């Protein structure tokens, strides 16, 4: 992971942080937490998932976020 992190810092590798279903925070709080860690929000949107009938629907609680390092 340290090698991946170093590659990500130089821009030659992308690290994707996946959220777990057992952690929930409202988008405003998530954005604030990320900013406190040195990240800047580019966009966020509701996660898409399948309902029991197999239809693609927006998740009730889960969001996807795209952040970049603060400059």
Identify whether 2 is part of a domain: no
Identify whether 34 is part of a domain: yes
Identify whether 5 is part of a domain: no
CA distances from 55 to 22, 32, 52, 61 (A): 23, 33, 8, 17
Identify whether 9 is part of a domain: no
Give residue 8's pLDDT.
Answer: 84
Domain count, the chain: 1
Give residue 38's pLDDT.
Answer: 94
Residue 40: domain span = 20-69
User: What string of pLDDT tens digits covers the 71 residues of the chain?
Assistant: 788 878 888 888 887 776 555 667 899 999 999 999 999 999 999 999 999 999 999 998 889 999 999 87
Give residue 57's pLDDT.
Answer: 97
Give residue 20's pLDDT.
Answer: 58
Q: What predicted TM-score, i.e. pTM, was given to this entire model? A: 0.62
Identify whether 27 is part of a domain: yes
């Amino acid at each position: 992971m340290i090698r991946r992190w170093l590659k990500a810092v130089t821009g030659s590798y992308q690290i994707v942080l996946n959220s777990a279903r057992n952690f929930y925070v409202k988008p405003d709080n998530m954005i604030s937490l990320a900013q406190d860690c040195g990240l800047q929000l580019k966009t966020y949107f509701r996660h898409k998932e399948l309902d029991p009938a197999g239809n693609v629907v927006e998740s009730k609680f889960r969001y996807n976020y795209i952040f970049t390092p603060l400059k």
